[in-house]
Amino acid sequence: MAGEKNKEKLILDSAVALFTTKGFQSTRMEDVAKRAGISKGLTYFYYKNKEDLFMALTKKAFDQFKEEFREVLRSKGKNGLEMITDLVGKIVFFSKEHPVYYQAILHFLDVLKKYNEPAQRMEIDPLILDSIHFHKLLEIHHEPVKLGIQMVSIGIKDGSIRPELQPEITFYTIWSMIIGFEKMSGPVGYEGKEAKISAEAWLPGFIKLMQDMLRGTIQASRPAIVQTSLF
Amino acid sequence: MAGEKNKEKLILDSAVALFTTKGFQSTRMEDVAKRAGISKGLTYFYYKNKEDLFMALTKKAFDQFKEEFREVLRSKGKNGLEMITDLVGKIVFFSKEHPVYYQAILHFLDVLKKYNEPAQRMEIDPLILDSIHFHKLLEIHHEPVKLGIQMVSIGIKDGSIRPELQPEITFYTIWSMIIGFEKMSGPVGYEGKEAKISAEAWLPGFIKLMQDMLRGTIQASRPAIVQTSLF
Amino acid sequence: MAGEKNKEKLILDSAVALFTTKGFQSTRMEDVAKRAGISKGLTYFYYKNKEDLFMALTKKAFDQFKEEFREVLRSKGKNGLEMITDLVGKIVFFSKEHPVYYQAILHFLDVLKKYNEPAQRMEIDPLILDSIHFHKLLEIHHEPVKLGIQMVSIGIKDGSIRPELQPEITFYTIWSMIIGFEKMSGPVGYEGKEAKISAEAWLPGFIKLMQDMLRGTIQASRPAIVQTSLF
Amino acid sequence: MAGEKNKEKLILDSAVALFTTKGFQSTRMEDVAKRAGISKGLTYFYYKNKEDLFMALTKKAFDQFKEEFREVLRSKGKNGLEMITDLVGKIVFFSKEHPVYYQAILHFLDVLKKYNEPAQRMEIDPLILDSIHFHKLLEIHHEPVKLGIQMVSIGIKDGSIRPELQPEITFYTIWSMIIGFEKMSGPVGYEGKEAKISAEAWLPGFIKLMQDMLRGTIQASRPAIVQTSLF
DNA sequence: AATGAATGAGTCTTCATTCAT
DNA sequence: TATGAATGAAGACTCATTCAT
């Protein structure tokens, strides 16, 4: 039937939903199948095993993630610094909207770290190394980064970012900041005796610091560019 | 006998060693016991269950982590910015020397995020919530951060850090950068066709960017303070 | 194939055999599976857990038990007192032929006692309360009793049982006697210095006493109705 | 110190309390020790193992049980039937006051049944056969019964019980009834759709039936002797 | 493509019991 | 007598994966 989603996608969507609430480990393949409205066996027809399914999900996460970068690049009338600022907002939003995708990306970075260190490569689950989706990821994982670097380059050209900065190093640093920001929203949100700031209060300050870092001069007169539309 | 370590510590050390090579999931309690030279049962005498053992390990990780912060604060003759710079180096080093401790800390941040979000608190493994060590962690996890904030304050006072910065926000942002830096050392190290920089090449640039962010003015004449002794 | 028993029944039969010789506690699920000629996992496919399996067995015990009552009621040409007498013989026989079924029934009565006492309901193993078979048992456990009460009513109508007796109280009392009789066959059979009677010698006297109780008059001329065919 | 109960008794009391609420299986030796205020090891000094402890408890149960019989026999001015009636009330009360003692007695009867059947003797837990208390029980378990038989004999002599009854068979039958009565209070108490009588309503009818059985003639004019003081 | 019964390796955890002190 | 750390056998249960149909 025309209106019927293909099974492969059905399974993936089911996995996303379940991984979101129960996590990868605690989600059973049987439940993935049940939620997708198919049999357990069929799941294994489309995905070799649980890890393969997760790698497929990770691949989709990267595709979606890259799309966020593309959208920023497509936006007209913005300088490089504004693009980067937009991007930060988009990624923070992305991590809230698609927590599983975001976690999958982080997980892939961990695997990649081991993969790039010959001594640790053997510690990676063989099922992951087997997955065709993992190998696709090895090919494409840098694409979002490439787009990000492009934004920094644009910023340097249009003067919104300090000319002496190296685009690669700069963008990697920006992404680092973002990744860490997400991790830190746990302790920051703690309403206990000693917590001073909340996650919401932190974001503008965080973005401003990043902008200062990129601009290199303190421009108190010109307020920091902060998205508020997203939250 | 004087040379005899107490069993509790023996177990913890064994767990650290095994978690390092095999990971938490793949490590069997039986192996932890075996490596510690004791019986399986005794492991459960000292730690309620595997999660409790991991929480104890996490507690130790935080203690050790805090010690790194303390050491930096103790060092005489350094201004705030230098302290922060030292700290970054120390943490990067710490994550390499004690990867399990570092991972345990990151894992705790994830749990904490859920813990602080009432809707997600129930998604946390009950065994974790049961652990006395988890509750100790809730009490002390902010201590390293507090010391870090202190460093920023010192930097502001001694003029090495821009006076208009808010210490809390600033330090959280710094820590974010560091956490992200570690995560990103995976893709960065990728020697594939498109990778431009290596992790080693990134660190100095990363630190310089951070310093620029904190100093707020570009001081081309005065080179960035970069530890090289650590690597 | 026609001759192939379904697995569910195979497991139950295996459990009956093993519980008979080793008891519930000492029987391992793995052995149940092995004896049934299947894998351990399949056992858990059909029965949630060991308690669930035992409840399923108990359900079957009640069904079988009820069948004994039905058979007595179906027998033509017997008055109520003769029916009751038959029933006693059948139950005594049943307890010898299917000791596990009999024990399961007694065990269920113990659980039921707790279940009916709100303060003790929480002392029941949660796995039992979870079992769907337990809830079926709650629905049907009174059915054999109902048939027994019917027999007493028949006896009252046909004059073989004293008219002033209340059927419910009377039948419950009869069943009590039977249950106790089984329990007591232990000490009675003791061939030690002080034991006076054996279980075999007791049964006829036991039945006669019961009949006297029901008839209410001593009819020395008419001998007591005792099954001898069963033993 | 004079006021200090001896440890042996302390342990036994602790066991009684714990077995009452959690049952034998679910009670851990450690908890028995803790509640007794002593160490786990000492428990094993006084009792060889858990089964031995339980057999000691059973022995105490029989002693106490026998005391109930003695009290009835000591009471002056009662005929045999009245004594039996008193006894029933006392036992029913005993089972409520000391549920663990009562269960221990029933459990012993089950073991005894196996013990008396050579083919099943090997199915008995060897630890039970090892227990010195078990062997004491083999010596004394018939004592309460002996006293009960005595009561029936008295009843026959004083004319309150039918002369043609055999004391042994008769008393065993009475005890059977009582044991069964206790078991049946579970289903009887069920307030569901089909339950006709409650446990409280049943007891008087039960006692009357027993009395009718013993007396052998219906004496409508002389009301049944029913204890009410106990409930 | 699709099903779901069947498999069995994998592990945590409990607890009665012992023994050095 | 008394302690409590230490042992280790025992067993329930899960779940990814397979395969006959």
C-alpha to C-alpha distance for D135 and D78, rounded to whole angstroms: 35
B-contacting residues of A 129-148, CB under 8 Å?
138, 141-142, 145-146
**Local structure of D1: helix, strand or coil:** coil
CA-based end-to-end distance of chain D? 40
CB of C29 lies under 7 Å from some atom of strand F: yes
Q: Do A205 and B141 touch (CB under 8 A)?
A: no
Residues A131 and A206 grouped into a single domain: yes
Residue C230 forms part of a structural domain: no
Report the alpha-carbon distance of residue C70 to residue B52 in Å, rounded. 57
Three-state DSSP at C216 gives coil
User: How many domains does one find in chain A?
Assistant: 2
Which residue has the closest alpha carbon to F17 C1'? Answer: A49
Question: In 3D, which of C148, C201, C214 has the Cα closest to residue C179?
Answer: C148
| Amino acid letter, C190 | Y
pTM score, two decimals? Answer: 0.89
User: How many Å lie between the alpha carbon of A109 and the closest alpha carbon of chain B?
Assistant: 6
Q: Are residues C34 and C109 in the same domain?
A: no
Residues B7 and B82 in one domain: no
Average pLDDT, chain B: 87
Q: Which residues of D171-210 are buried (b: 16+ CB within 10 A; e: fewer)?
A: bbbbbbbbbbbbbbbbbbbbeeeeebeebeebbebbbbbb
Does residue B40 approach strand F to less than 7 Å at its CB?
Answer: yes
Is-contact B36 B7, C-beta < 8 A? yes
What C63-68 contacts at long range (C-beta under 8 Å, 24+ apart), as own/partner pairs, is C63/C140, C64/C94, C64/C98, C64/C101, C65/C94, C65/C101, C65/C105, C65/C144, C66/C140, C66/C143, C66/C144, C66/C147, C68/C94, C68/C144
Residue D187 vs residues B37, C172, C208, D182, D191: alpha-carbon distances, Å? 55, 10, 26, 10, 9
Distance (Å, whole) CA D203 – CA B215: 91
Which bases along strand E come within 7 Å of a protein CB atom?
A: 1-20
pLDDT tens across B132-149, in order? 999 999 999 999 999 999
Quick check: D29 CB within 7 A of strand E?
yes
A22 touches strand F (CB under 7 A): no
With a cut of 60, say whether residue A82 has pLDDT above it. yes
Residue A228 host element (H or E): none
Distance CA C192, CA B147 (A): 82
Q: What is the mean pLDDT of residues C40-66?
A: 97
pLDDT band for D108, please (50, 70, 90 cuts): very high
Residues B114 and B170 in one domain: yes
Any CB–CB contact under 8 A between A93 and chain B?
Answer: no
Q: Residue B70: which of B134, B135, B147 has the closest Cα? A: B147
Q: Which nucleotide is nearest to A45 (CA to C1')?
A: E1
Mean pLDDT across D152-172: 94
The answer, yes or no, to whether residue C221 has pLDDT greater than 50, is no
Helix (H) or strand (E) holding C120, with range, is helix C118-121
C85 lies in some domain:
yes
Asked if C88 and C59 sit in the same domain, the reply is yes
- The torsion of the CA quartet A54, A55, A60, A63, rounded to 10 degrees, works out to 150
Query: Is B79 a domain residue?
Result: yes
Q: Mark whether B27 and B65 lie in a shared domain.
A: no
Is B106 domain-assigned?
yes
**Judgement on whether residues D117 and D196 belong to the same structural domain of the protein:** yes
* pLDDT category of residue C230 using cuts at 50, 70 and 90: very low
| Interchain contact B/C (3 or more Cβ pairs less than 8 Å) | no
Range of the structural domain that residue A185 is part of: 51-215
The Cα A89–Cα A230 span in angstroms is 7
Does C59 share its domain with C37? Answer: no
Indicate the pLDDT class of residue C223, thresholds 50, 70 and 90: very low
CA D227 to chain centre: 19
Residue C227 in any domain: the answer is no
- What band does D197 get if pLDDT is binned at 50, 70 and 90? confident
Assess whether D198 and D172 both reside in one domain. yes
- Cβ-in-10-Å burial (0-12, 13-18, 19+) of D66 comes to middle
pLDDT digits (tens, 9 = 90+) for A84-102: 999 999 999 999 999 999 9
Tokens of D118: 């050579």
Residues 123-162 of chain C: which lie with beta carbon within 7 Å of strand E? none
On whether the CB atoms of residues D205 and C166 are closer than 8 A, the answer is: yes
> What would the pLDDT profile of C150-165 be if each residue is shown by its tens digit?
999 999 999 999 999 9
What's the N-to-C CA distance of chain C in angstroms?
39
The alpha carbon of residue C187 is apart from the nearest alpha carbon of chain D, in Å, by 6
Same-domain status, A91 and A130:
yes
CATH number at residue C124: 1.10.357.10
Once rounded to an integer, what is the mean pLDDT over residues D20-43?
95
Closest CA–CA distance from residue C5 to any residue of chain D (Å): 30
Q: DSSP character for A5?
A: P
DSSP secondary structure code for residue C221 in this structure: S
> What value, to the nearest 5°, has the Cα angle with vertex B88 and ends B84 and B94?
135
Mean pLDDT of C75-95: 95
Indicate if B126 and B183 belong to the same structural domain.
yes
Domain assignment present for B22:
yes
**pLDDT score, position C189:** 59
**Rounded (5°) CA angle D160-D163-D164:** 140
Instruction: Give the integer Cα–Cα distance in Å for B6 and B13.
Output: 11
Q: Are residues C73 and C27 in the same domain?
A: no
The DSSP code sequence of B77-112 is T--HHHHHHHHHHHHHHHHHH-HHHHHHHHHHHHHH
Look at residue C92 and tell me whether its pLDDT is greater than 90. yes
- Report the pLDDT averaged over residues D186-212: 75
